[in-house]
Structure 1
Amino acid sequence: MKDIYEYVDKMELNKQLKLDEIPDLDLYMDQVIQLFENKFGILKRDEEEKVLTKTMINNYAKGKLFFPIENKKYSKNHLMLIAMIYQMKGALSINDVRMTLDALNKMITEENFDLTKLYESYVDIANDRMQQLKVEMKQLTTEVEDHTSAYDSKRADYLKQLLLVASFVNMSNYYRRAAEKIVDAIERNEK
C-alpha cells in the first residue's frame, strides 16, 4: 500500500483507441483483432485473457451492436464502435450496449452521421475523467489510511487493501447503476 501513489500514476486504465491510430483503410477481422490486442493488451490481467476474438466480433455483429460490414471488412466507423463496445461491455450487459448504440448505428447508416467528432469527444471525456479518477483515488487512499491508522500494523496493509477494493467496487456499482438508468431512458425514448 505504500506505493499506491506510484501505482495510480502508472495506471494505464484509460487506454483509448485514438482516431489517429485507426487506419483509414478497411480492415479484415484478423487485422481488427491485432489492432485491439496491440492497443489494449496491456490491460489484460493475465496472458490467457483475450482482448477481442473472432467469436466476440461475430457475437457483436449478430447482436446488432454495430451496423453490417461490407466485403468482410471493417470500416473506421466499425472500429470506433467496437472500441466503444469494448469499454462498455465491462460494465453493461450486451443488451444494454446494443440499446445504447442502436440509435447511433441508425444515424450512421440512415443519416450518414459522421461518427468522428462524437468519437473524439468520447476519447477526450474519457481522458479527462481518468485525470479526475487519479485525484479521487489519491483522496480515497488518504481517507482509508486515516480510518486504518489505529489497526495492528501487521494487518493494516491488508485492511487498507480491503477497504480500497470495497470502495472501488462501490463506486463502480454507483456508476454502472447510473449508466443503466440512462440506458432505460434511451429504451423508453426509442419506443
Structure 2
Amino acid sequence: MEPIQKMMDELNLENNIKMEDIPNIDLYMDQVIQLFETHFNDSKRNQEEKVMTKTMINNYAKGKLFFPIQNKKYSKEHIMLISMIYQLKGSLSINDIKSVLDQVNQKVVEEEFNIGDLYHCFLSLTRQNVQKFQGDILESEELVKQEVNMFADDKDTNYLEQVLMITSLVHMSNLYRKLAEKMVDQLSVEKQEAGKKDKNKT
C-alpha cells in the first residue's frame, strides 16, 4: 500500500478560501466559480470532477442556503457562505445545510452581523481539524496493522490491510456524519420551540 502520509499530502487538505483571497468587490457567478476552481483544483479526485458549477450555485440559491444576491453579483459575505456550504455539502443534504445556516443568513440581513468573524473561526477550526485528522489517521493505520497480523500467512495481506483501512475510515466518517445530523435535528427542534414562544407572546 502506498504510504498513507503520502496520500494525505496529495489530498491538499489545507486548501481553503482565506479571507484575503476574497476580493472586496462583488463577483459575477463565473468569477465565483473560477475562485473556487483556483483554490480547490488540487483537491479534486480527478480532472473531470467539478469543484463548483452554475447548477450547484443555482441550487443553493433556490434552496435559500444564502441570502438573495443583488444585480446578479455575489458579495464577500456570499462567498464566505458558499465556502462553508462547499464543506458542508460533502455530508449534509441541502435541507440540512439550510437548517444550519438559516439563522446566520437571517442575522446577516437583519442585524448587520459580521459574518467575517464567524468565517475566521471556521477557517481556524478547519486548520486544526486537518492536523488532528492526520494524527488520527496515522494512529488508525497502526491499529489496522495490528489487526491484519492475523493474516500474516495470506498472500493478499496488503490488499486486506487496505480493505480494513477503507472500512475503518468510512465507519469513522459515518459516526461524525450521524452526530452532525443529530445536531442539525436539534437546531430544528430549538427553532420550532422558539417560534412557539414568540406566538405565545403575541
- Which TM class, normalised by the smaller chain length? over 0.9
Stretches (4+) displaced over 6 A: none
Structure index of larger Rg: 2
Whole-angstrom distance in 1 between the partners of 2:51 and 2:2: 31
- Which residue of the partner structure matches residue 119 of structure 1? 119
- Which residue of the partner structure matches residue 150 of structure 2? 150
**How far has the Cα of 1:107 moved from its partner?**
0.2
**How far has the Cα of 1:14 moved from its partner?**
3.6
- Which residue of the partner structure matches residue 82 of structure 1? 82
- Which residue of the partner structure matches residue 26 of structure 2? 26
Deviations 1:7-65 (A, max 9, x none): 33443124221111111111000000000011112222122211111111111101100
User: What's the RMSD between the two structures over aligned residues?
Assistant: 1.2
Of stretches 10-19 and 36-45 in structure 1, the one that deviates more from structure 2 is 10-19
Whole-angstrom distance in 2 between the partners of 1:49 and 1:2: 23
Q: TM-score, with normalisation over the residues of structure 2?
A: 0.91
Aligned residues: 191
- Which residue of the partner structure matches residue 161 of structure 2? 160
- Which residue of the partner structure matches residue 99 of structure 1? 99
- Which residue of the partner structure matches residue 46 of structure 2? 46
Whole-angstrom distance in 1 between the partners of 2:86 and 2:6: 27
Answer whether contact 1:100 1:183 (CA < 8 A) is retained: yes
Is there any run of 5+ residues in structure 2 with no aligned partner, and where?
193-202
- Which residue of the partner structure matches residue 173 of structure 1? 174
Structure with the greater relative contact order (CA < 8 A, sep ≥ 6): 1 or 2? 1
Amino acid at match of 2:105: N
Whole-angstrom distance in 2 between the partners of 1:2 and 1:15: 22
Whole-angstrom distance in 2 between the partners of 1:22 and 1:153: 53
Q: Percent identity?
A: 48
Whole-angstrom distance in 1 between the partners of 2:5 and 2:36: 28
Q: TM-score, with normalisation over the residues of structure 1?
A: 0.96
Whole-angstrom distance in 1 between the partners of 2:86 and 2:16: 10
**How far has the Cα of 1:154 moved from its partner?**
2.7
Of stretches 58-67 and 14-23 in structure 1, the one that deviates more from structure 2 is 14-23
Amino acid at match of 1:169: V
Structure 1 residues 189 and 13 mapped into 2: Cα distance closer, same or farther (>3 Å)? same
Answer whether contact 1:9 1:134 (CA < 8 A) is retained: no
